[in-house]
Structure 1
Amino acid sequence: MFLTTDANNATFPTVVFESTPLIFFPPELAYQISVATYIHMGCLAVILWDFINNLKGDFDLLFLQKFKFPTAIYFITRITLLAYMLCRAVLLTLPVANCAKMYDAINALLVVFVSATTAMFYLRVCAVYNKSKIIIVVYGILWFSVVGMLLTIPFTFTAVHIATTQYCVESIRGHLLGPTTIILMVNDTMVYVAIAYAVLSMFVAKDAPCGTKLTTLLTFGKPLPIFSRALLKDNQLYFMVVIVSNLFIVVCVYVSVAPISVMFIVCHLVLVSVLSCRVYRNMHMANLSDVVVAPFPVVSPTRVSVRTSYSDDSLDDSKEVKKKSSLVDARKKAQAHRVQ
């Protein structure tokens, strides 16, 4: 209970319910905070659904296949994001003794998640280019730049108690969030360009017109063999959504103020997790409907082209065998008719 003083210096008791901490904020700000909380809880539901929906695929990756370093990174991304979402949900909805320390742990989970996700695609780029030294160095520098900017997150996000309650509210410090989101967008864009170029260069002639290459890219690689089309399609779907989402986050950070500027970051994180893990599972578990895909990471572009060429040749060979067998049957029938 608090004592409130009016204009005539008269005091009277006012009851403040700590179960409704948003009463300490102006109505507009309280509304924005509540919307941000609802968005987070909705994204948490999506992550939980994604975990449950892909339990079989995760089980197969963990126990039925050889456990490799990229697989470890895959599970790190899934576990850290789930832990991040759960811990942040607790912070936003329940009383917490020390908001700042809990948010330090939440920031650490966020740094690990984004670092692992970008590392997964860094390994993929290196594998597609057969571990080219130039690719390793250039994209390695880019990945370290991403990690370096991510280390500023603990200095950007924090949480404090709301007035005298035990509930927490997030706050933003400094001006490093904008550059961090820009670096992430640049990284995603360069990874997409590298993988798309590698796939197109395998099966599209170097002297082909630019229009042909652009058409192949925009039509999700329809002229390409099945495996390469699937590889290009998955990458396009992932990066198309992620880059647009990241661009939206950058605009929000520079145009709006908190909490509007950051309330959609959690949506971006969920999209990154769901789509990147889907790409990994499709590559590693052969979940594509039309072809058995080589395990991730792909050893080299040459191996991919040989594999798809072998599949196409085998189809042609089978047609030729059927044609020859039908001719033999026709000759036998003709000979039998002559004998009669």
Structure 2
Amino acid sequence: MSIPSPSRLGSSPPIVHPSAPPAYFPPSVSSDLIVASYLPVAALVVHIWDMLNNVNADYKLLTRHRLRLPSIVYCISRLSTLACLLVVTIYTSAFFGPCDPNFHLSPWLYCIAMQSTSLLFFFRVSAMYHDHKPVALFFFLTWLGILGGSLSSALIAHIQGVGPTKNCLGRARKSFVWTSFIVPLVNDTLIFIAISFRLTLIGLPENTRFKDAFRVIIFGKDLPSFSKALLRDGQAYYLTTLVLSFTVTIVFFIESIPSVYRVLLSLPNLTIVNFMACRVYRRTKSGMYRETSSLELSIPMAFHDCTRTPENSTALLSVNSG
């Protein structure tokens, strides 16, 4: 699937404004291009607003805690998302040309943004299963698989110029949908199940009935405040990813929808997923879940001990910086 190629100049109606990209497309396609160019602008504005809204939290995050790999990945996730949205906005609406078809910057930035965001949740599940190395290794291998798929999509991406103008348009293949939405969604589902299962084991007494365990997984019933907050944030992130990924995937395969919309819908998806993932990381790292004295916490992100006290069956979580 690709964005329609510019019409041949010989068969096109007279061009009134040769420097205007819509002049090189049929009228219906031109209107779609103009409307679709607002999608990256809107996504960019939302992301900038989110970054400005969390400047204070990010400053505390980076200055009050030791800078380690998860914090570096967090910064990469935020900045690469910003750079990706900015570059796509320039490609689709600005005039800083000429367009270089070999300048595949936006697919690579998209790959970095998506994979660094996914890596934040790998850190989370590996922290939960620090004492079960095979589980952490499994999710690391799945992340590497997703990374490989994203890199292959970036390699085959194509940027083309629009006539003699300074604008660029991109082409996306169906493999882009699999590597950018469907496969990461499966990985996020497995991570969500793994974290929910771990939190359930922490909060439930022995010989718990299946119905009670189901209530804990869905509603966080009887879980300590820290575990319940982790579970609910994970649910919010997963449901957001699920709805957005399915929506973008379905829209991508509906041929009646203009292809330019199907391609650029990935940008709002990138923005919202990054927003949710970074929100979960900030809340966990900053210790916003510390609500009860039964939780022994330092800097949250990596769990070192998960035990259940026989008196009240609550979790004692010792958390290391990450």
**Cross-structure match for 2:204:** 204
SS at match of 1:259: helix
The number of residues matched between the two structures is 299
Select between 117-126 and 48-57 the one with higher mean Cα deviation.
117-126
CA-CA distance at 1:249 after TM superposition: 1.9
Backbone CA RMSD of aligned residues: 2.7
Q: Determine if contact 1:283/1:294 at 8 Å carries over to the other structure.
A: no
Mapped to 2, the partners of 1:5 and 1:272 lie a distance apart of 44
Select between 210-219 and 283-292 the one with higher mean Cα deviation.
283-292
Residues 62-118 of structure 1 show CA distances to partners (whole Å, capped at 9, x for unaligned) of: 11211111111100100111111111111111122234233x122221121122111
- Give the residue type in structure 2 aligned to 1:227: F
Q: Determine if contact 1:77/1:117 at 8 Å carries over to the other structure.
A: yes
**Cross-structure match for 1:26:** 26
CA-CA distance at 1:125 after TM superposition: 0.7
Q: Determine if contact 1:77/1:113 at 8 Å carries over to the other structure.
A: yes
Mapped to 2, the partners of 1:309 and 1:265 lie a distance apart of 39
Mapped to 2, the partners of 1:124 and 1:224 lie a distance apart of 18
**Cross-structure match for 1:43:** 43
**Cross-structure match for 1:97:** 98
Mapped to 2, the partners of 1:131 and 1:142 lie a distance apart of 19
- Give the residue type in structure 1 aligned to 2:99: N
Q: TM-score, normalised by structure 1?
A: 0.80
SS at match of 1:282: helix
**Cross-structure match for 2:194:** 194
Alignment of 1:302-317 (within 5 A): 302=306
Alignment of 1:194-233 (within 5 A): 194-205=194-205, 207-219=207-219, 221-233=220-232
Mapped to 1, the partners of 2:253 and 2:197 lie a distance apart of 32
CA-CA distance at 1:263 after TM superposition: 2.3
**Cross-structure match for 1:63:** 63
Mapped to 2, the partners of 1:214 and 1:140 lie a distance apart of 27
SS at match of 1:260: helix
Mapped to 2, the partners of 1:138 and 1:310 lie a distance apart of 26
Mapped to 2, the partners of 1:206 and 1:101 lie a distance apart of 60
CA-CA distance at 1:39 after TM superposition: 1.6
CA-CA distance at 1:130 after TM superposition: 1.6
- Structure 2 unaligned blocks of 5 or more: 1-8, 318-322
SS at match of 1:66: coil
Mapped to 2, the partners of 1:42 and 1:224 lie a distance apart of 39
Mapped to 1, the partners of 2:164 and 2:27 lie a distance apart of 19
The change in CA–CA distance for 1:309 and 1:186 in structure 2 (over 3 A counts) is: closer
SS at match of 1:152: helix
Mapped to 2, the partners of 1:296 and 1:171 lie a distance apart of 42
Pair 1:296-2:300 in alignment: yes
Q: Determine if contact 1:198/1:301 at 8 Å carries over to the other structure.
A: no
CA-CA distance at 1:189 after TM superposition: 0.8
Mapped to 2, the partners of 1:188 and 1:296 lie a distance apart of 21
Mapped to 1, the partners of 2:28 and 2:67 lie a distance apart of 51
Residues 285-304 of structure 1 show CA distances to partners (whole Å, capped at 9, x for unaligned) of: 12348468652323235169
Max Rg structure: 1
Mapped to 1, the partners of 2:217 and 2:24 lie a distance apart of 53
Mapped to 2, the partners of 1:208 and 1:304 lie a distance apart of 14
Q: TM-score, normalised by structure 2?
A: 0.84
Mapped to 1, the partners of 2:197 and 2:267 lie a distance apart of 30
Q: Determine if contact 2:101/2:159 at 8 Å carries over to the other structure.
A: yes
Alignment of 1:58-137 (within 5 A): 58-95=58-95, 96-102=97-103, 104-137=104-137
Mapped to 1, the partners of 2:119 and 2:198 lie a distance apart of 19
**Cross-structure match for 2:234:** 235
CA-CA distance at 1:156 after TM superposition: 4.3
Mapped to 1, the partners of 2:300 and 2:308 lie a distance apart of 12
Deviation beyond 4 Å, 4+ runs, structure 1: 291-294, 303-311
Mapped to 2, the partners of 1:268 and 1:241 lie a distance apart of 9
**Cross-structure match for 2:165:** 165
Mapped to 1, the partners of 2:78 and 2:93 lie a distance apart of 23
**Cross-structure match for 2:175:** 176
Mapped to 2, the partners of 1:5 and 1:120 lie a distance apart of 52
- Structure 1 unaligned blocks of 5 or more: 7-12, 312-340
CA-CA distance at 1:178 after TM superposition: 3.1
- Give the residue type in structure 1 aligned to 2:304: S
Q: Determine if contact 1:128/1:299 at 8 Å carries over to the other structure.
A: yes
Mapped to 1, the partners of 2:84 and 2:149 lie a distance apart of 19
